[in-house]
Amino acid sequence: MAHNVLVIVGSLRKEAFSLKVANALARLAPSSLKLDVATLHGISFFHQDEEANPPADWVAFRDRIKASDAVIFVTPEYNRSIPGVLKNAIDVASRPYGKSSFLGKPVGIVSNSPGPLGGVSAAMDLKKILPGISGPILGQPEIYLTNVGNSFDDKGNLTGESLQKVLEQYLAAFAAFVEKQTK
């Protein structure tokens, strides 16, 4: 049986590298994983006043996470951190206190950048935010994708062989991690 994995894209841009990477992961996933790519369009801003009667978009996002067996975050780096839209989505899904939709779910983190650092700071910030509101986080292999803009054609298809190999290796490690965590 395949494990359902929600892949959360941390960018709203239509041609986002994160979205292209997430879609590539979904196409490359081994048969033991079924990846569902989720963008963060339409998730309203979190504020505690809404917790007692959450908006429908919050409930739908939380339910999508709860229905998954695991989560992979695919994020760019904005100003040496994660994009605000991703932080907002994490806040929406992790509340109310003690009832995080991520609880117990194995987590993977894939950061990316068109530049040479691969979003390392964004990945590190996720590793600071997620403990306590998620399940275990895959520690190895770490994946910080650099120069991703050159790895896709104009239709968003993965053309970079070296990136494909890295993504396949990551997915194999994540599949083994999820299997171990969900036994």
CATH classification of the domain holding 25: 3.40.50.360
Return the pLDDT at 147. 86
The neighbour count for residue 39, using CB atoms within 10 Å, is: 20
Cis, peptide link before residue 131, omega less than 30° from 0: no
The neighbour count for residue 41, using CB atoms within 10 Å, is: 10
The answer to whether residues 114 and 149 touch, using CB atoms and an 8 Å cutoff, is: yes
Q: Is the alpha carbon torsion for 147, 148, 153, 159 positive or negative?
A: positive
Return the pLDDT at 121. 95
Per-residue tens of pLDDT for the chain, all 183 residues: 899 999 999 999 999 999 999 999 999 999 999 999 999 999 999 999 999 999 999 999 999 999 999 999 999 999 999 999 999 999 999 999 999 999 999 999 999 988 788 899 999 999 999 999 999 999 999 999 998 988 999 999 999 999 999 999 999 999 999 999 998
Range of 120's domain? Answer: 3-181
The structure tokens listed for 87 are: 């932080």
The stretches of 30-160 forming alpha helices (DSSP H) are 56-66, 84-94, 120-129
The neighbour count for residue 152, using CB atoms within 10 Å, is: 19
Calpha distance 89→58 (Å, rounded): 9
Number of domains in the chain: 1
Return the pLDDT at 149. 86
Residue 47 class from Cβ within 10 Å (0-12 exposed, 13-18 middle, 19+ buried)? exposed
β-bridge partners, 158: 152
pTM passes above 0.95:
yes
